[in-house]
Chain A
C-alpha cells in the first residue's frame, strides 16, 4: 500500500508519476498534502514537485500520444473531482506499459473515462467562452466573473487573448479565487485579497465603478434578446437544455428588465 501526497499542482502530479515509476511502487492512493489522512498500514510517500522530472514525464506522454490525448489528460487534472489523480495515473501507466498507442482503446475503462471527462471539461470551457459577459468599467477595463463547475480558466485564456487583443480585460473565478488579467501585451494570473471582493459577488459591479454607457448597452442587449424571439415557436424545454439555470447568473439578458426605456 502506497499513498503518494503532492502539492496539488499539475507538475506535482506528474512528479508523482515519475517517482512511482522510479520506485516501481504503484500508488493505491494519491492525495493533496493538506487533505491527506495518514495511513495506518502501508507507506506514505511525500513527493516534492520537481519541474525536470515532471517535464520528462510530460514529454514522454507527448511522444506516445496525440495532442488531443495529452489535452484530455490535462482536462482530467482540471476536472478536480475525487479520484482524478488515480484515474490520471492509471491512464499514464497504461500508456507507458503498452507497446502501441492506447488512446482509441475504449475497451479499457480508464481510457473511456478520461475521454468522457475531457468531454465534460471541454463543454464547460465552451460554455464559459460563450456565456462570459464583460462589463466596461470607468477606467476602460472589461471585467467578468465566472464560477465554473471545473477549473477551466486556464483553458479559456487563449480564446479571449485572440479575440480581445485591443482591449484590457479580466476574468475572475470567484469559486477558486484567482483570475486572468490581460493588459494589451500579455495575460497574467492574479489573485485578489478575499476582502477586496464584495461578498457573494456574482459579477455585478457597483454602478459608480462602471463606464457611463455600460448600463445602456446591457439594456440594448436585453431589448435585442426579447425581440429575436419568435413566440409562435416557444420551446422552454429546449431553451433550458441549452442554458441550464445555473448559467443564468452570467447573462445580462436573463436579469430583470431595466425599468426605464
Chain B
C-alpha cells in the first residue's frame, strides 16, 4: 500500500459523501460460514461526522471519472476537478481491513460512469462478488446501480448486495431534463421496477425452497435532491408515496442540495436547505410509521411544509376537531397523532392503561413529554390546559410561549435527522 491510496480515498470519499444514505439496517445475512461479518438486523453507526450524520459504511465511489454532465453533481464531466479510480483489489482490501477493526458495517459503493454503464457496473459487481466469495464476507453491501446498466448485471448485483439503489435524482421529469439531460425517468424507473419484481420473486422462491438464492435482502432505496429544482413539498411527498407503494422501496432519501457548483442551470443558493430537508424526513416518517396519508400532510392548499413547526403539529392545528384525545380510551392510532407523543410513548400508554386509569403524573413518570401534548389531550376528562385556544394562538403559544419549547422542537428535528441517516 502506498500514499496513492490515501489520495484516492480522499478524493473518492469526498465525491461520494453527497449521497446521504449510510444506512446498514434491514440486512438478513448471518455469519453461517464461519466467515467474516454479520449483517443481521439493525445497522450500527460506528461514528458520526462533524455535521452529525451517521457513519456506518465505507461510502466511496469506484471512480469519479464520468461521461455525464448532471448539473447538481461534483463529478459531472464539465467540472474541473482531479480524477482518479480505485482498482477492484484496493476496494476489497479497504473494506476488509476497516471491517475487521470494527470501523464499519460494510461497503456502500457507487461510481461515476467510466467508459460506459456496463463497463462500470461490471466492476462494482466484481467487487461485491469477490468480497462474498473469496473473503466469505457477510457484512453489509449496498451497491448503487449505474444508470443504463443491463438487466443481467443488475440481477447479478442483487445476488451479492444487501441493498440496491437507483437514484430518482430529482422530483420531476421536467427538472431531470433540465439538470441531467442524459437521464430520463423511464430509464430510472425501468431498473427500479425490475429490482422490485426480482425482490418479490426471490421472496416467493424462498418460501418454497429455503436454499433459493437471496436477492438484495435489505431491499432497494432511492434518493432525490431537494432544493435544486422548483418542486413543492406536496409534489415530493406524492412522488415518494408512489415510490413506496409502486416499487415497494424500503427508503426514499432526501438530500438537501449542497451548492457544489456555479452551473448556470441551478438556482443560486448559499446554504443547503437543511430545515426543509428535516421537515420532509419528518413527513416521510409520518407516512411510514404514523399512519398518515401523504395528502393529509401537504396538499394543493398547503403545498409546502411549515418550516417553523413539525408536520404533525401542523396537521393537528389544521384538524382541531379530532382533539382533545382522551388518553385512557382513545385508539392507539389516535394517540400516535397527538403532537409530542411518539411511537414509544404511545405504546407505553396503551400498555400501562390496562393496569390503572392514567393520570398526568403517570404520563410524566413514563417520560411522555407533555409540553405540546397537553394542549391536545385529556386524562380521565381532566386537562392541564385550556383546550379552546384558536389554532393561531396555540401555534404561537407552542412556538414562543415557553422558552424551552423551541429548542425541544429543534432537538426532535435533529433526532429525526439522525434516524434518517
Minimum CB–CB distance from A180 to chain B (whole Å) comes to 14
Q: Which residues of B contact A261 (CB under 8 A)?
A: 3, 6
The answer on a CB contact under 8 Å between A142 and B100 is yes
- Pick the contact of B55: A217, A225, A232, A238 (CB < 8 A): A225
The answer on a CB contact under 8 Å between B103 and A136 is no
Q: For the complex, is B206 an interface residue (Cβ under 8 Å from A)?
A: no
Q: Which residues of A contact B101 (CB under 8 A)?
A: 133-136, 142, 217, 221
Q: For the complex, is B330 an interface residue (Cβ under 8 Å from A)?
A: no
- Most chain B CB neighbours (cut-off 10 Å) among A130, A135, A136, A142: A130
- Most chain B CB neighbours (cut-off 10 Å) among A131, A228, A237, A239: A228
Q: Which residues of B contact A135 (CB under 8 A)?
A: 101
**A216 nearest in chain B by CB position:** B1
Q: How far is the CA of A219 from the CA of B9 in the complex (A)?
A: 11
The answer on a CB contact under 8 Å between A253 and B17 is no
- Most chain A CB neighbours (cut-off 10 Å) among B17, B53, B98: B53
Q: Which residues of A contact B259 (CB under 8 A)?
A: 232
Contact with B along A119-154 (1 / 0, CB 8 A): 000000010011111111000001010000000000
**A233 nearest in chain B by CB position:** B51
The answer on a CB contact under 8 Å between B31 and A223 is no
The answer on a CB contact under 8 Å between A243 and B3 is no
Contact A105/B355 with A130-B46, A165-B36, A228-B55 known, Cβ cut-off 8 Å:
yes
Q: For the complex, is B37 an interface residue (Cβ under 8 Å from A)?
A: yes
Query: Is chain A's binding surface mostly helix, strand, loop or mixed?
Result: helix
Q: For the complex, is A24 an interface residue (Cβ under 8 Å from B)?
A: no
Contact A236/B50 with A105-B352, A220-B94, A242-B45 known, Cβ cut-off 8 Å:
yes
Number of contacting residues on A, CB 8 A?
54
**A103 nearest in chain B by CB position:** B351
Residues 206-252 of A contacting B (Cβ, < 8 Å): 213, 216-217, 219-221, 223-239, 241-243, 251-252
Contact A107/B362 with A221-B103, A228-B55, A235-B51 known, Cβ cut-off 8 Å:
yes
Q: Which residues of A contact B414 (CB under 8 A)?
A: 235, 238, 241
Q: For the complex, is B372 an interface residue (Cβ under 8 Å from A)?
A: no
Contact A220/B5 with A227-B13, A227-B17, A235-B50 known, Cβ cut-off 8 Å:
yes
Contact A239/B48 with A164-B36, A261-B3 known, Cβ cut-off 8 Å:
yes
Q: How far is the CA of A220 from the CA of B100 in the complex (A)?
A: 14
Contact with A along B358-399 (1 / 0, CB 8 A): 100010011100000000000000000000000000000000
Q: How far is the CA of A58 from the CA of B213 in the complex (A)?
A: 41
Q: Which residues of B contact A251 (CB under 8 A)?
A: 47
Contact A230/B258 with A129-B44, A130-B45, A224-B58 known, Cβ cut-off 8 Å:
yes
Contact A227/B51 with A136-B101, A216-B1 known, Cβ cut-off 8 Å:
no
Q: Which residues of B contact A43 (CB under 8 A)?
A: none
Contact A232/B356 with A223-B6, A224-B13 known, Cβ cut-off 8 Å:
no
Q: Which residues of B contact A232 (CB under 8 A)?
A: 258-259, 271-272
Contact with A along B1-40 (1 / 0, CB 8 A): 1010110011001101110000000000011001111101
Minimum CB–CB distance from A128 to chain B (whole Å) comes to 10
Contact A166/B44 with A136-B101, A225-B49, A225-B55 known, Cβ cut-off 8 Å:
no
The answer on a CB contact under 8 Å between A107 and B355 is yes
Q: Which residues of B contact A142 (CB under 8 A)?
A: 100-101
The answer on a CB contact under 8 Å between B418 and A233 is no
Q: For the complex, is B279 an interface residue (Cβ under 8 Å from A)?
A: no
The answer on a CB contact under 8 Å between B355 and A112 is no
Residues 340-357 of B contacting A (Cβ, < 8 Å): 348, 351-352, 354-356
Q: How far is the CA of A168 from the CA of B414 in the complex (A)?
A: 39
Q: Which residues of B contact A132 (CB under 8 A)?
A: 102
The answer on a CB contact under 8 Å between A239 and B49 is yes
The answer on a CB contact under 8 Å between A230 and B51 is yes
Q: For the complex, is B288 an interface residue (Cβ under 8 Å from A)?
A: no
Residues 101-123 of B contacting A (Cβ, < 8 Å): 101-103
Q: Which residues of A contact B58 (CB under 8 A)?
A: 224
Q: How far is the CA of A217 from the CA of B93 in the complex (A)?
A: 10
Contact A233/B102 with A106-B348, A228-B17 known, Cβ cut-off 8 Å:
no
The answer on a CB contact under 8 Å between B10 and A223 is yes
Q: Which residues of B contact A226 (CB under 8 A)?
A: 10
Q: Which residues of A contact B48 (CB under 8 A)?
A: 238-239, 242-243
The answer on a CB contact under 8 Å between B47 and A225 is yes
**B417 nearest in chain A by CB position:** A238
11 further A-B pairs in the complex, CB-CB below 8 A; given A165-B36, A227-B10, A242-B52:
A105-B355, A105-B356, A134-B100, A162-B31, A220-B94, A224-B13, A227-B9, A234-B50, A235-B51, A241-B52, A241-B414
A residues near B (Cβ < 8 Å) are 104-107, 109, 112, 116, 126, 129-136, 142, 144, 162-167, 213, 216-217, 219-221, 223-239, 241-243, 251-253, 261
Closest 10 CB pairs of A and B: A238-B52, A104-B351, A233-B51, A227-B13, A242-B48, A106-B352, A105-B355, A235-B52, A162-B38, A229-B49
B residues near A (Cβ < 8 Å) are 1, 3, 5-6, 9-10, 13-14, 16-18, 30-31, 34-38, 40, 44-55, 58-59, 94, 97-98, 100-103, 136, 258-259, 271-272, 274, 348, 351-352, 354-356, 358, 362, 365-367, 414, 417-418
